[in-house]
Structures are given as structure tokens and as C-alpha cells.
Structure 1
Amino acid sequence: MDVLRPIRGDGGRDVTVVVCASRPLTRAGLRAALNETAGVTVVGDAETPMQLERLLREQAPQVVVVDDEGCESDGIELVRRLAERSGGRIAVVVLTELELGERVLEYLRVGARALVLGDGSLGEIAQAVVAVASGHALIAPPLAAVLVDLMLRRIPAAAYGAGLSSLTPREQETLGLIASGLSNQEIAKTLFLSEKTVKFHVSNLLGKLGLRNRSQAIVYARDSGVPLPG
């Protein structure tokens, strides 16, 4: 992705936006919400790729908001073409869904500057438009969590520390309980240990495996086939 830079017009003029979505209600709702946002003006909306091409020629918008189902075309390919065509001069905001998993990450790869939940509030979408217009990137927190999980799952086994064989039986048991979502206090009750002792085991196993936090420990446990209780 190109280095982000502000795209607001000279003299403080409004940022121009085009909305691309196949559903009429989506286009109408986005247009109304964005036109009510200070510093933003919607100069057109498109239902199809052909309509979008025409608007890009006629209006030269600074931001395009793309619905994942958008414009009767594959959203990822559409965003790729927008990024290649504009050389980063057009910032793309994508409306997507949590369930799309790997597709969410692919949008970032092809050049999207902001990812927002399609069923989120119109205010959040407007915030994303303002953010990218100021040269920032924005990812809605629920989507950020999906991205972090996807990236953690891609950490190769060699990137970890010494491996499960380096853990004591108690540390392996503790790792399994962490992967089950238990807190230190809950683990202490389960193993009939003090919470201080559990913290000691957690710190030790993280260090041996080369992990930074519990989130990575959960991913590691699942990827390594650590048996879960129950």
C-alpha cells in the first residue's frame, strides 16, 4: 500500500466522495449520512462498475466508499483496480463483514485504507471517510480483532521458542487452560493453586515458547494440538 497522505483539497475545500453499492437503500443511506458530515460532499453514487468509471472520469473523487457486495462486481478486484488506477490518489473505504475472514485481510493487501462493518452505524462510516481524507488508515475494532487473529495464525512454528517439550507437565496443563479461555484466578481454582503460582507458570511458559501474551498462547496451543480440559 502506498504511504498514506492527506487528500483534502487545497484551501480547505470539502473532500469529494463517490459511493459504490449495488443496493439502492445502501447508496441512499450513505449519501445522506456523508452529505451531513462537515467537510464531506458526495458527488455521485454508482450501482455498476460502468457507472463508477463514468463518475471517476467526470468527478475525480478523492474517496470511494465500496460496499463488499458492491457495484455488481467482486469487491477485492474493484479495490485493486481503483488503487492501481489512481496511484494512491483515491482513498478507498470498504464496508465488509466479520464472517469474511481472509477476505478482510485481502482488502488491505490490494489497497483499501479503511475497513468498516457494513452493518455498523453511518456515523462510523463517515468517521472512516474523514480519517482517510486526513491521511490516516482506519479499521473498525471488531475487524481489527479478526485481522490480528489471522496474522497470529500465520506465525510459523519455527518462530516460537523451544516448543512444548520445554514445558513442565504443569505448564502444559496451564497452557491448555489458557487456551480454554480461563483467567489466572479460574486456573488457580481448577488446579488448586494460588493465583501467584499460576502467574509464575504463565510467565514461564510464555518465555519458553517465545510468546508475548495470552492471545499468542491461545493460538499456539490450538495450532500445536495442546489438549484442552473437558
Structure 2
Amino acid sequence: MTRVLLVDDQALMRAGLRVILNSEPGVEVVGEASNGADGVRLAKQLAPDVICMDVQMPGMDGLEATRILVADASVRSRILMLTTFDSDSYLFDALSAGASGFLLKTASPEHLVEAVQVVAAGDSLLSPAVTRRVIERFGGASHTLRERTDYPELTDREVEVLALLAKGNSNSEIATELFVGEATVKTHVSNVLAKLGVRDRIRAVVWAYENGFAVPGE
């Protein structure tokens, strides 16, 4: 059973998330909070597997709550940030705060459930819509696409996997594109992260655009 804590200042949003998640076999919403401070308190009290965290909330926001929880070694919960880009001007600060995934609030119920399951399984999730924003933020026009041979530590297959990660593809989408199994993709992704010295796929995407491996519109 995947135990989920909802942290959002909008009661209607929490109610919708609760209905969607509780209707999924193997997922249970175990608590709710309307601000970051209460979210931190309940996270330590309930020890959920996943925390669905809003970014903007009164008092302590989701970004500060995430920093506090990630810095606490006793907290094992993984954090899925739920956001809208019209108002979340500081979203990209959360890339360094330690969240395990980012999902737009406009995502479908199916994508929400998938995101919770992915994060609960120990993987990181960066949706294609969020990836586009990462590209806009980190992949400025000043970056020049470098030859992929500049990264000899990556095998040809790992280069392909990183290129697809940079587009925001999920493991299943990468598996379909490369005609391999998801288990094989997970192995390749793990190898890419280790060779780049980054801790999750979110940082791998940022690395790809900051280092000229990929550029916007490529």
C-alpha cells in the first residue's frame, strides 16, 4: 500500500486528489495539510511514502517545507510537487530542494496516479510539460550543441537514453522508442546518472541543457 499525504491550501484541490488516489487500488491518502508547516508536522507523524506538495501556500510554502523534509534524515517520504506555472515563479529553486517529481495540476487523473507510483517506487519524474519549462530556464540561446562524442564515457545506447530523457520521456516511452524492455531502460538510466554524477533524472535533464548536450528546439 502506497501511503500519501496531501499538502495544499485549497480544500477543493485536496478533495479532488483524495478521491482520485483513494480510488486506485494500492494507494491510500493518510492525511491532509493546508500549509507547509502542518505538512512538515504530519509528514514526521504519519511517515507517508509520498507527499503531494503544492508550491505556493500561505505561511510556509511548499519549497521551504520540501527543504526541511529532505534535510531531515529521519524522513523517508518522497515529494511530488504539484504546480501551476502562471504563479509559481520560483519553481526552479525546487530543483535543488530535493523533490522527487514535478507535475502540473492540469495533469489527468491517470498521470497523477502514475506519478505517485513512480515516485513511490524510488524513481524521479519530470513530465514533458515541466521539461519544456526546464529547457526554457536552463537551455538559453547562448548554449551551443556539442558533439555527442564529447562524452566518451557514455555508450552509444546511453547517449540515446540521455537524449530521450532530455525530451521528458518516461521509462516506458524510452523503452518503446528503443525497442527494449523497461528493466533495460532503468539500467541504462542508472548508468547515465552514475557517469554524469547526478542523483536523479531531473538533474540529468538540467545537466543535458546546461552542458550543451541538448538545446531547445533540437
TM-score, normalization by structure 2: 0.61
Who is 2:3 aligned against?
16
1:215 is aligned to 216
CA RMSD of aligned residues (A): 3.0
Pick one of 72, 93, 96 that aligns with 1:109.
96
SS in 1 for 2:216: helix
In the alignment, what sits opposite 2:123?
Answer: 136
Aligned residues: 155
SS of the residue 1:215 aligns to: coil
> 2:24 aligns to what SS in structure 1?
coil
Q: Where do residues 66-145 of structure 1 align in structure 2 (5 Å cutoff)?
A: 66-70=53-57, 72-86=59-73, 89-99=76-86, 103-145=90-132
**Which residue number in structure 2 is paired with residue 5 of structure 1?**
none
Give, as a single letter, the amino acid of the residue that structure 2 aligns with 1:130: Q
TM-score using structure 1 length: 0.58
What secondary structure is seen at the aligned counterpart in 1 of 2:32?
strand
The alpha-carbon deviation at position 34 of structure 1 amounts to 0.9
What residue number does 1:65 align with? 52
Structure 1 residues 159-189: Cα deviation after superposition (integer angstroms, max 9, x where no partner): 989xxxxxxxxxxxxxxxxxxxxxxxxxxxx
1:142-221 pair list within 5 angstroms: 142-153=129-140, 215=216
Task: In structure 2, give the amino acid aligned to 1:44.
Answer: G
Return the offset for 1:51. Answer: 2.9
Letter in 1 for 2:85: L
Secondary structure at the aligned position of 1:98 is classed as coil
Identity %: 27
Gaps of 5+ in 2: 148-211
Alpha-carbon separation, structure 2, partners of 1:152 and 1:216: 10
Structure with more of its chain in helix, by fraction: 1
* Bigger radius of gyration: 1
Give ranges in structure 1 of 5+ residues lacking alignment: 1-13, 162-210, 218-230
* Equivalent residue in structure 1 for 2:27, among 26, 40, 44: 40
Checking the alignment, whether the CA contact within 8 Å between 2:44 and 2:75 is kept in structure 1 is no
Question: 1:26/1:86 Cα in 2 relative to 1: closer, same or farther (>3 Å)?
Answer: farther
Distance of 2:32 and 2:74 partners within structure 1? 22
